[in-house]
Amino acid sequence: MPNDNCGDGAKPVLIFPGGMPHSLDYLQKCLRAGLPVIGASSLNYDVASREYPAWLHLPYINQAGFDDALRRGIEDFDIGGIYSPNPVVWNYLSRALPGIAPGVKLVNDSPVNEVLAGYRAARVRARLLLERPLPLASRLKVRPAMAEIELAALFHHANQIPGMCDLEKIDALHEIARCGVSGDIVEIGSWWGKSAFVLARLARYYEIGNLLCVDPWSNEHLVQHEGEGMVDSGSAQVDAEEALAVFEMNLLPYSSNHVNYLRMPSTDGARYYREHRDVATASFGSTSYRGDIAILHVDGNHGYAAARADISSWSGFVIAGGWIVIDDYVWPFGDGPRRAGNEFLADNRSGIAVAFVAGSALFIQMA
Ligand SMILES: C[S@@+](CC[C@H](N)C(=O)[O-])C[C@H]1O[C@@H](n2cnc3c(N)ncnc32)[C@H](O)[C@@H]1O
């Protein structure tokens, strides 16, 4: 990322070697931020040179003359910092740069650290959750938690999928998956499949049941009339057809015939679910469902009427000990999920065993 380390922003950053994918990403970020950059490599002709506003040829770092050529380049172009995603080059420069050009610094962390940062963060998150599990007030027996490495994998892979499922919610989903009954898992609103991935993995690990994702994947259904149009203008920039393809790409590797979807609004999906036990799609094949829901995740359209319709058409399938999760119960752009969730709590007081808010979602366990 271009940051304060890019010198003072007035001096150019040298990107070396300039043709690596991370280098080209970094180049684009610098160009967008209006920061001056120069590319360099040791190839006689590097196609990447065409992408850069200026270019420098350098010997390989293990060739005599590299240090002198770099020193000359730094002086000629008045270079303020160097970005290198290559671990060998980065290591060499971290040792040699103070002698070659005192004051010129590497602007990025070690590429090895950068590659491993996500894995390390996921392991820390997993350890913390295992050390401090959520103390659920449920009467049901809690299943032993997955091993730390399994939980770290869950966090890490979820992090690879773009979408709207915060870490606190993943923590809580993991905990309720351990403390519930078996049955289908139904998600209303899956989009690119971030929370669906988490549910698919938990379904398999804790042997809960099969996952059904219900989403029309249509731009028309993205309109929420909430947040003074801010949410809708953001949604207008995404393509629902592409979103379904992204969902399939994200979920297919994790489906062992236990994931499928209905491409329709949730109310139509509820009618289909009442009348059929099987769902078939070209990408996921055929999946059988029980018709009883162990976990219902409501994350569809957040307008009040839509959130209310989602809950009323699906909550009747949730069995005793099953969970209803209402996403964005805490939401800065509107109060649809909160109002619909509160109404459900008020109308079903005697049928509810546990209710709490984690992250931005409301979690309810049926008695
Ligand atoms: C907030 S996104 C879901 C985010 C997703 N759960 C994640 O983890 O990133 C909302 C989704 O609800 C879907 N949606 C909108 N109206 C719907 C409806 N009537 N029934 C089911 N899904 C709906 C949208 O297509 C969109 O995919």
Q: Tell me, what's the pLDDT at 238?
A: 81
Q: Tell me, what's the pLDDT at 6?
A: 47
The CATH number that applies at residue 210 is 3.40.50.150
Cα(307) to ligand 1 centroid in Å equals 11
65 and 152 co-located in one domain: no
Handedness of CA 115, 118, 119, 123 (dihedral sign): positive
90 within 8 A of 84, measured Cβ to Cβ: yes
Boundaries of domain holding 49: 13-108
177 and 274 co-located in one domain: yes
Cα(187) to ligand 1 centroid in Å equals 9
| Beta-strand runs (E) in the chain | 13-15, 37-41, 55-57, 81-83, 105-106, 184-188, 211-214, 259-262, 278-281, 285-288, 293-298, 318-326, 352-358, 361-366
256 within 8 A of 268, measured Cβ to Cβ: no
Measured from the CB, is residue 296 less than 6 Å from ligand 1?
Answer: no
Q: Among residues 46, 22, 101, which one has the least CA distance to residue 68?
A: 101
d(CA 3, CA 93): 19
* Three-state SS at 366: strand
167 by Cβ neighbours in 10 Å (0-12 / 13-18 / 19+) ranks as middle
Q: Tell me, what's the pLDDT at 234?
A: 57
101 and 140 co-located in one domain: no
Which of 190, 197, 259 has most ligand 1 atoms within 8 Å of its beta carbon, as the pocket-test mutant?
Answer: 190
- The residue from 108, 129, 151 where one domain ends is 108
Cα(104) to ligand 1 centroid in Å equals 48
Determine, yes or no, domain membership for 307: yes
Question: How many domains is the chain partitioned into structurally?
Answer: 2
214 within 8 A of 269, measured Cβ to Cβ: yes
Q: Tell me, what's the pLDDT at 2?
A: 43
Neighbours of 31 (CB within 10 A): 15
Cα(138) to ligand 1 centroid in Å equals 29
Cα(150) to ligand 1 centroid in Å equals 27
Measured from the CB, is residue 19 less than 6 Å from ligand 1?
Answer: no
The CATH number that applies at residue 41 is 3.40.50.20
Residue written as token pair 């922003």:
9
Q: Which atom of ligand 1 is nearest to the CA of 198?
A: 8
Cα(145) to ligand 1 centroid in Å equals 29
d(CA 13, CA 84): 10
268 and 159 co-located in one domain: yes
Q: Which atom of ligand 1 is nearest to the CA of 297?
A: 6
d(CA 84, CA 23): 7
162 and 281 co-located in one domain: yes
Which parts of the chain have pLDDT scores under 70?
A: 1-9, 224-237
| Beta-strand runs (E) in 244-292 | 259-262, 278-281, 285-288
Q: Tell me, what's the pLDDT at 1?
A: 42
Determine, yes or no, domain membership for 206: yes
Measured from the CB, is residue 265 less than 6 Å from ligand 1?
Answer: yes
Q: Tell me, what's the pLDDT at 202?
A: 98
Record the pTM: 0.88
Q: Tell me, what's the pLDDT at 138?
A: 83
318 and 173 co-located in one domain: yes
Residue written as token pair 């799609």:
281
Determine, yes or no, domain membership for 4: no
Buried b (16+ CB within 10 A) or exposed e, 270-309: beebeeeeebeeeebeebebeeebbbbbbbbbbbbebbbb
Q: Tell me, what's the pLDDT at 55?
A: 98
